[in-house]
Amino acid sequence: MNSRRDFLRQVGGSALTLSLATTTFPEQAHALPADGKQLGVALVGLGSYADRVATAMKDCKLAKLIGGVTGTPTKIDTWSTKFGLDKANFYSYQNFEQIKDNPAIDAVYITLPNSMHHEYVIRAAKMGKHVICEKPMSVTVKEAEEMIAACKKANVKLYIGYRLHFEPYTRELIRLRKSGELGKILHVNSYDGFKIGDPKQWRLKKALAGGGAMMDVGIYCINGARYATGEEPIWVSAEETKTDPVKFKEVDETITWQMGFPSGAIASCVTTYNFNNLERLYVIGEKGFVELSPAFGYGPIKGRTHQGAMSWDTTKMHQTWQMDGLADCILNGKPDPNMTGEEGLKDMKVIEAVYKSIAAGGKKVSVV
């Protein structure tokens, strides 16, 4: 592809060039099983993010959108027309369990508000369907553990919507860390936030969101620092700032925190609902660095290393890579790229530690 050739010209001759020239990302490796089976998916909660996923799935090869679940009957006409879906494959929250009798649906993707993830993951598992759940996987560690247990009991897969684990720039950052080309990781800056709009939206209601900026986009900072170091944080220290106590009466606005890792690496992180232009993952190693900025949004992701600019194909939507990648895991047994329920649980443990540190006045709190 042209973007890769351009990149190789920029850094020609280096060890990094050789490594990138032989790297195969998931979007290049997907193949239908011998029986031609595609993974049939129903989206649960037909809001704006579900629309994004459905749009992205138009370009999928292994995953196919079959239907959806909604509490708004008028959306059935809209969605069936827009995405060419059979109205018989749509359900309400009341008759959700009828999906178990639909052989065309292999998996459901939960795109509901955070506090509803727990209920619908468990209900889906009991139907014998594989489950993809948008992040954060839950609003408490206890709920996350119950979701994992329910899916294991039902012998179904549980994946969390960490789309970036299939995104090429992120994959390359992880490869550079794993290969040792960065040397020992010493420090990580991980920032993500934006100025939130409508003060009446569900993300600002604790009963639906579970928390504010931390639950919504701060989780990217946590996950990013974890895949940048390849380690799990053992302690956190955090503080919260509120400039608008009315708008953010129920949830957090801005949080700054540090995370310590077993190797001695430190991550400095910020998340906010109060201002824009905050999106960066900067990884410093003994031998070099990687910077992704923007790092976590829908793209295009941009990046550079100590050897020059990174350049990968950004024409596909992240959700296309994600849905084909997860279908590959389910249909072909491909290794999971750290998107299981256990991965989501690890982030929930850090989030709870962050909130505990804030409640303790910023004192260092162990992640357990």
Residues taking part in catalysis:
135, 220
Single-letter residue type at 106: D
Q: Which helix (H) or strand (E) holds 158?
A: strand 158-160
Angstrom CA distances, 186 to 189, 203, 233, 269, 288, stand at 11, 34, 13, 15, 10
Structure tokens at 338: 């750290």
CA 83 to chain centre: 24
Structure tokens at 265: 């690496």
Q: Got the DSSP string for 171-239?
A: HHHHHHHHHTTT-SEEEEEEEEE-----TTSGGG-HHHHSSSHIIIIIHHHHHHHHHHHTS---EEEEE
Q: Got the DSSP string for 284-317?
A: EESS-EEEESS-SSSS---EEETTEE------S-
Residues 6 or more apart whose CB falls under 8 angstroms from that of 254 comprise: 193, 213, 240, 241, 242, 243, 270, 271, 272, 273, 274
Task: Please identify which residue in the block is written with the tokens 């249909």.
Answer: 331
Task: Please identify which residue in the block is written with the tokens 């929930």.
Answer: 348
User: What does the DSSP 8-state code read for residue 55?
Assistant: H
DSSP, collapsed to helix, strand or coil, labels residue 160 as strand
